């Protein structure tokens, strides 16, 4: 599934808030075509790591490259072009409440000046159907949607400009088990049909079991990398408690066999 050259490479990353060190020489690679999970306890810096990878905050030290480009030293025009090659689903969906679903999906397209309005509309309808929403949902406002529908609409927006990489921040949080499983299955389908690389922050052990090829566990300001099966045998106290607690045992029953 994965190539030898990382599609995302994080090297010796240090991030701080004042005197508080969140990451200390953290290293991580993500390869083409994999679904890569990021987990960790409160305060471990999961969202900080994601925002740093996305270029939303500067690292105090270290380097990050995406698709072969060092994101911390790009000119603005090059950076904008690179950012068009990934999509982001933020926690909670982050849809614009004053826009319809269709208008929300078109936002990234309209930021690319070469796409005519008529084509934006048609492409947005295609993305809507891709995430299994109905055409009638195109004209609804976020306040008229269920939690699961908001996630799907936000996913359609993240896919608007045909990204190579999809970043997901707690994609199943707030969803009931049936909606969460349906969303997981959608991610698997999209990965296969669109040849996506997916990076997801999650605490959902069911999603980890269903989706993740590899996982980075953020502990002690570093990233411990592995597959689910290898991490199940890791002796680090937090990693052991996370995967072998009561919830972990229920979600991962049979994984160790």
Model confidence pLDDT, tens digit, residues 75-102: 555 566 677 789 999 876 788 999 999 9
233-to-49, 229, 241 alpha-carbon distances in Å: 25, 7, 11
Q: What is the structure's pLDDT at 251?
A: 55
Nearest 5°: the CA angle 105, 185, 242 is 105
CATH number of 1-85+164-257: 3.40.50.300
Helices in the chain by DSSP H: which ranges? Answer: 46-53, 76-83, 101-110, 117-130, 147-158, 177-194, 205-211, 228-231, 237-244, 246-251
Query: Is residue 3 pLDDT above 60, yes or no?
Result: no
Q: How confident is the model at residue 129 (pLDDT cuts 50, 70, 90)?
A: very high
Length of the chain, in residues: 257
- Which tens digits make up the pLDDT trace of 184-243? 999 999 999 999 999 999 989 999 999 999 999 999 999 999 999 999 999 999 999 998
Query: Is residue 2 pLDDT above 50, yes or no?
Result: no
Share of the chain above pLDDT 70, in %: 89
CB atoms within 10 A of CB 7: 22
Q: Where in the chain is the domain with CATH 3.40.50.300?
A: 1-85+164-257
Q: What is the structure's pLDDT at 91?
A: 79
Q: Specify the pTM.
A: 0.89
Q: How many helices (H) and strands (E) does the chain have?
A: 10, 10
The span from the CA of 241 to the CA of 53, in Å, is 28
Residue 57 DSSP code: S
Higher pLDDT, 25 or 80: 25
Query: Is residue 182 pLDDT above 60, yes or no?
Result: yes
Helices in 111-213 by DSSP H: which ranges? Answer: 117-130, 147-158, 177-194, 205-211
Query: Is residue 19 pLDDT above 80, yes or no?
Result: yes
Mean pLDDT, to the nearest integer, of 104-124? 85
Which residues does residue 8 pair with via DSSP β-bridges, in sequence order? 30, 66
């Amino acid at each position: 599934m994965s190539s030898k050259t990382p599609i995302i490479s994080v090297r010796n990353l240090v991030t701080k808030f004042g005197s508080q060190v969140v990451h200390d020489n953290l290293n991580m690679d993500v390869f083409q075509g994999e679904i890569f999970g990021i987990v960790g306890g409160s305060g471990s810096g999961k969202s900080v790591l994601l925002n740093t990878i996305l270029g939303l905050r500067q690292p105090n030290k270290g380097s990050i490259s995406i698709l072969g480009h060092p994101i911390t030293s790009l000119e603005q025009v090059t950076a904008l072009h690179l950012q068009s090659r990934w999509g982001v689903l933020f926690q909670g969906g982050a849809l614009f409440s004053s826009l319809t679903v269709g208008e929300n999906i078109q936002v990234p397209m309209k930021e690319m000046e070469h796409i005519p309005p008529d084509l934006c509309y048609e492409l947005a309808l295609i993305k809507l159907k891709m995430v299994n929403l109905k055409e009638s949902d195109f004209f609804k406002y976020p306040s008229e949607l269920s939690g699961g529908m908001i996630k799907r609409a936000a996913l359609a927006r993240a896919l608007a400009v045909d990204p190579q990489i999809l970043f997901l921040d707690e994609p199943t949080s707030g969803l009931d088990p049936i909606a969460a499983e349906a969303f997981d299955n959608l991610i698997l389908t999209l990965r296969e049909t669109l040849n996506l690389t997916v990076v997801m922050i999650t605490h959902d052990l069911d999603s980890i079991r269903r989706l993740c090829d590899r996982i980075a566990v953020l502990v002690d300001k570093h990233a411990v990398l592995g597959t689910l099966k290898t991490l199940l045998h890791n002796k680090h106290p937090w990693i052991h408690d996370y995967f072998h607690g009561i919830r972990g045992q229920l979600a991962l029953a049979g994984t160790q066999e």
